[in-house]
Chains A and B, each alone.
Chain A
Amino acid sequence: MNPALQGLLTIAIGVGGCLSYFYFSNQVLDKVIFPAKGPNAGKNINRANMVRPWLFLLPAILALGLYLAYPVVETIRLSLTERVTQPDGSTTYDFVGLANYAQMASEPKFWEAMRNNMLWLIVVPAMSTAFGLLAAQLTDRIKWGNIAKSLIFMPMAISFVGAAVIWRLVYDARPPGTEQIGLLNAIYVWMSGNDPQQWLTVPFWNSFLLMIVLIWIQTGFAMVILSAALRGIPEETIEAAIVDGASPLQIFFKIKIPQIAGTIVVVWTTITLVVLKVFDIVFAMTNGQWETQVLANYMFDKLFRANDWGVGSASAIVIMLLVTPILVWNVHNARKEMR
């Protein structure tokens, strides 16, 4: 069958199925199981209302359970096993304890990925938030600020792969003596007179060139949110500071920043989550060569190139562990708000 047709059919079945599930399950509940008439009418209505939330929630709980909660448990289990193909062709998963973790810890590529991930974790959220704050503060004061904002925000819509192509052109190098078509080398050759560099193959610094791509994408996000927070600051606090003779810089750092500190933390953690999962940029630009490996790409490598599900799962667990503090913090905040 034509995939497009199949897609339409799936939409129809999926959406139609969901809607009719919700409709008929409610009908059955109200008319058949607990009808709102007869001697027990009042009791039945209460009973039906106790069951109803679960009818509304069931598909979501099933999907969340199967696609997010179960994999967490299963990945932990798989990270402790080794996939073995038996002589009769069947696949078994043998318990091997922490052997996968031990193997991973003995691989230099893993530690390279860890080191790079730590660099990414420090640089990208910090730079994106800083640029976002700068852009928010500046664009709020000018007439064409909204246009400027939407142009800085635009990379948000571009895929990581698209961004990788865009930036590979910027970093492109041509042989010495010929005209450079990459912006970076053109500027570099013009300023320094040296030979052009293959930037993406220069270890250590090339990681920063990859980070620039993500910073470029995430700055718009930081800007939008911080700009809303800046506008939410009560005018009186700023007026009071001006009357007291504060300079614009003092106002910014001592009055505004403390008042939006909460939002800065939210932006920072959100970008941190993106960084931990960054895969496409590295995959498309260097594929982890020249010491640019990161955890998510390392995992993909183990999973599909080395076909080693055990170590792949173990590295996924490492990513999960890095995310856990943010998870706990978010849940903690959500619960605090509910009260």
Chain B
Amino acid sequence: MDNIAGTKSSLTWAVQISVVVLVLLWLFPTVGLFVSSFRTADQISTSGWWNALFPTEQSLTIRAAAPDTQVQEGNVFVIEGNLYTDADVPDGIEMSAWGTSSREIGAYQPGDTAELRRGGTITVEGDGDYRMENTEAFEGNRGQRVFITAEVPPDFTTENYQQVLFSGDATDSMAKAFFNTLTVTIPATIIPIVVAAFAAYALAWMDFPGRALLIAMVVGLLVVPLQLALIPLLKLHLGIGIGKGYLGTWMAHTGFGLPLAIYLLRNYMVGLPRDIIENARVDGATEFQIFVKIILPLSFPALASFAIFQFLWTWNDLLVAKVFLIDATGQTTVMTNQIVELLGTRGGNWEILATAAFVSIAVPLLVFFAMQKYLVRGLLAGSVK
């Protein structure tokens, strides 16, 4: 065991560092989009999002006040003011150099005094205060240009979210799509649970011929690709008059979610203690009572696991919505579809894309972090034998 004890600390460090690298690799793409959703279009297209987190060195061009604001003090004419009051100057900047010519924008330090080309001098302080002096009156109608080089602190905006959520702009708006997604998701999550719970109970605790075959069929249907069902069901929906709409989508999601629901719930219910159920049967409880009063409450963790799966799956789904829901009018578009359309029409407008994507990602992420325990439990029940 010497070899292990001897290398332990360096090995632990190696492990720590590898995990940090791994986590950063996995996190970076998402963080990039998240940061971008709080930046303006200009900021996104001129610098990488990783620069947005740190102060950046930027050159700004500002005009001093126009000559008509000059005052006469004794025999000198003076223009005074503060450069930072200009509307284009970000808050909290820290000037490192300034200049009066576009060829030498960093010629002077804060506090220096410079000769002006058209006569007179200008002094610029670090806090943005400036003072121009001249023995003759300043002429012209535009103010003196001053170039400053400054550290600009990170600057974020929530404008994108307002545009995407509240502007009502038809192409950008995610608000309607958000509610449409919600309308698809909630019934499509709840209905399969109810149907599957009863079936799972029968498959777990009732004895009848053909039970093993049915379970095998459920396991088989678990892997049938969705693609196979698209054409026949679309044909069916169009044939019986449901057409494209919420009803068909809810039914499709219910059908597609059932195998997993039955499988997960049955596996869980089989593990419940036999005594409780048999005692209840001996005491004269009907199967319906046993199911509602004993099985359902005890199966809560499994129900929660499946509910999360189905919620994530229906919320994030694009294919089923495209085939069964979204018609030519586009009134029933869901968020995933809206984002794909934005990719087509506004592929370069990262501020809109990033924000729209984040609006749609936010809810699943919340659910994920709040209910991770049940999600993991469900995964383990579904996969590990």
A residues at B contact (CB < 8 Å): 3-4, 6-7, 10-11, 14-15, 18-19, 22-23, 26, 30, 49-50, 52-54, 56-57, 59-61, 63-64, 66-72, 74-75, 78, 131, 134-135, 138-139, 141-142, 145, 148, 150-162, 164-170, 172, 174, 179-183, 186, 216, 219-221, 224-225, 228-229, 242-243, 245, 247-248, 262-263, 266-267, 270, 273, 276-277, 279-280, 283-284, 296, 299-300, 303-304, 309, 312-313, 316-317, 319-320, 323, 326-327, 330-331, 333-335, 337-338
Contacts and interface: CB of A to CB of B under 8 A. Distances in A.
- What interface size band does chain B fall in? 35 or more
A225 to B, nearest CB: 5
Given A151-B23, A157-B361, 20 more contacts: A4-B182, A54-B202, A57-B202, A60-B195, A67-B254, A72-B228, A135-B22, A151-B26, A154-B30, A159-B318, A161-B340, A165-B353, A168-B343, A169-B29, A169-B350, A273-B223, A279-B319, A284-B340, A316-B230, A335-B216
A162 B361 contact: yes
Contact of B369 (A72, A150, A220, A330): A150
Contact of A7 (B187, B199, B201): B187
Contact of A138 (B22, B50, B208, B247): B22
Contact of B208 (A50, A71, A183, A229): A50
B26 to A, nearest CB: 5
B37 to A, nearest CB: 10
B255 A334 contact: no
Interface in B309-327: 312, 315-319, 322-323
Contacts of A11: 186-187, 190-191
B228 A263 contact: no
Contact of A56 (B198, B319, B360, B367): B198
A169 B379 contact: no
Contacts of B258: 60, 63-64, 67-68
B351 to A, nearest CB: 11
Contacts of B33: 165-166, 169
A68 B255 contact: yes
Contacts, number: 341
B364 to A, nearest CB: 4
A26 B286 contact: yes
B206 A52 contact: yes
B48 A186 contact: yes
Nearest to A72: B228
Contact of A59 (B26, B27, B199, B230): B199
A56 B288 CA distance: 9
Contacts of A229: 384
A66 B247 CA distance: 15
9 contacts: A57-B199, A61-B214, A152-B22, A152-B26, A157-B312, A157-B364, A159-B316, A179-B47, A303-B230
Given A63-B195, A69-B221, A323-B225, A166 B30 contact: yes
Interface centre among B254, B360, B384 (most CB of A within 10 A): B384
Interface in B297-354: 312, 315-319, 322-323, 332, 336, 339-340, 343, 350, 353-354
B365 interface: yes
A281 to B, nearest CB: 10
B368 to A, nearest CB: 4
| Chain A interface, >50% SS class | helix
B183 A333 contact: no
Interface in B70-112: none
Contact of A248 (B11, B46, B372, B375): B11
Contacts of B250: 10, 14
Contact of B227 (A160, A262, A267, A319): A319
Interface centre among A71, A172, A174 (most CB of B within 10 A): A71
Contact of B19 (A66, A138, A170, A283): A138
Contacts of A317: 228
| Chain B interface, >50% SS class | helix
B4 to A, nearest CB: 7
B376 A224 contact: yes
Contact of B32 (A23, A183, A221): A183
B383 interface: yes
A85 to B, nearest CB: 14
B247 A10 contact: yes
A335 B219 CA distance: 10
Contacts of B218: 64
B276 interface: no
B287 to A, nearest CB: 6
Contacts of B288: 22-23, 26
Interface in B166-183: 179-180, 182-183
Interface centre among A161, A312, A331 (most CB of B within 10 A): A161
Q: Which 6 A-B pairs have the closest CB atoms?
A: A67-B255, A159-B316, A60-B199, A157-B368, A74-B232, A56-B202
Given A3-B332, A148-B23, A225 B383 contact: yes
A242 B11 CA distance: 16
B219 to A, nearest CB: 4
Given A6-B246, A168-B343, A57 B223 contact: no
Contacts of A19: 194
A170 B198 CA distance: 46
A14 B187 contact: yes
Contacts of A154: 26-27, 30, 365, 368-369
Given A59-B199, A60-B199, A158 B30 contact: yes
A333 B231 contact: no
